[in-house]
């Protein structure tokens, strides 16, 4: 694998297409601002109801191009049985040392799919481990400055939202690149959103979070730490 340059924002997800669903618009916003964005998928999709690992790899490459990310790669952790082990933490920590992101986006730490909430804890602990100076890994120690949790599918009040209005159509196109997952087919029809409803559902959720902050479309995020404000005169979003 060719050595990737340092990244600014790295989204880590359990599966190929998770990022596209939860924070693809925000990656487009950051890229438009001139920041280097990247995606790390922890699994390859071999256990998914629809599609093969090879199909999802090709789709992920296409989606990465649509999202204009600078780098995307996938680890080989077991799809459907992701575990928070030392070995897995070290694999992710190695990527963090190589890419050296300032901001890491993780899935929210609760959810229906065990792989998703395991990724939240696994990713956080890998961020910590990557900064340990005596860790036996290539590269200089590195710890991201900020860890964000993409909370689109969590029933929680977001800490903040990102206005994705100019990029909402591109975000949808990146998701639809996963034809093996979102094209109409009999297999898994009870689990997957019908193709004709994907646009309505994705736009409705983005519209909901946009309304919370007075914009048209947005993606939500949660912080674990308290935010610091320097000037009360420049707080965004009107109260009334």
Classify each residue of 106-140 as buried b or exposed e, where b means 16 or more C-beta atoms within 10 Å of its C-beta.
bbbbebeeebbbbbbebbbbbbebbeeeeeebeee
DSSP H stretches of helix in 86-141 = 86-99, 114-129
Q: What is the pLDDT of residue 48?
A: 64
The span from the CA of 175 to the CA of 165, in Å, is: 16
Q: What is the pLDDT of residue 1?
A: 44
* Cβ atoms of residues 38 and 99 within 8 Å: yes
3 by Cβ neighbours in 10 Å (0-12 / 13-18 / 19+) ranks as exposed
* All structural domains of the chain: 9-221 (3.40.50.10320)
Going by pLDDT thresholds of 50, 70 and 90, the confidence category of residue 44 is confident
* Cβ atoms of residues 13 and 69 within 8 Å: no
Residue 134 has pLDDT above 70, yes or no: yes
Query: For the residues 103-121, what does the mean pLDDT come to?
Result: 95
* Cβ atoms of residues 8 and 39 within 8 Å: no
Supply the pTM of this predicted model.
Answer: 0.92
Per-chain mean pLDDT for the chain: 92
The span from the CA of 130 to the CA of 151, in Å, is: 24
Going by pLDDT thresholds of 50, 70 and 90, the confidence category of residue 185 is low
Going by pLDDT thresholds of 50, 70 and 90, the confidence category of residue 46 is confident
């Amino acid at each position: 694998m060719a050595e990737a340059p340092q990244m600014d924002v790295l989204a880590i997800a359990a599966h190929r297409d998770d990022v596209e669903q939860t924070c693809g618009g925000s990656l487009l916003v950051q890229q438009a601002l001139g920041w280097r964005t990247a995606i790390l998928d922890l699994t390859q999709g071999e256990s998914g109801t629809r599609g093969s690992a090879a199909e999802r790899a090709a789709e992920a490459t296409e989606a990465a191009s649509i999202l204009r990310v600078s780098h995307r790669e996938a680890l080989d952790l077991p799809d459907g049985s992701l575990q928070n082990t030392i070995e897995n933490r070290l694999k992710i920590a190695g990527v963090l040392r190589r890419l050296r992101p300032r901001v890491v986006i993780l899935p929210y730490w609760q959810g229906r799919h065990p792989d998703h909430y395991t990724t939240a804890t696994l990713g956080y602990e890998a961020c910590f481990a990557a900064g340990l100076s005596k860790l036996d890994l290539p590269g200089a120690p590195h710890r991201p400055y900020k860890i964000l949790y993409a909370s689109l599918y969590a029933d929680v009040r977001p800490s903040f939202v990102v206005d994705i209005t100019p990029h909402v159509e591109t975000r949808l196109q990146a998701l639809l690149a996963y034809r093996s997952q979102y094209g109409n087919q009999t297999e898994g029809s009870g689990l997957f959103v019908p193709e004709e409803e994907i646009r309505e559902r994705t736009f409705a959720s983005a519209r909901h979070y946009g309304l919370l902050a007075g914009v048209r479309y947005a993606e939500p995020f949660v912080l674990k730490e308290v935010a610091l404000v320097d000037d009360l005169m420049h707080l965004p979003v009107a109260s009334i």
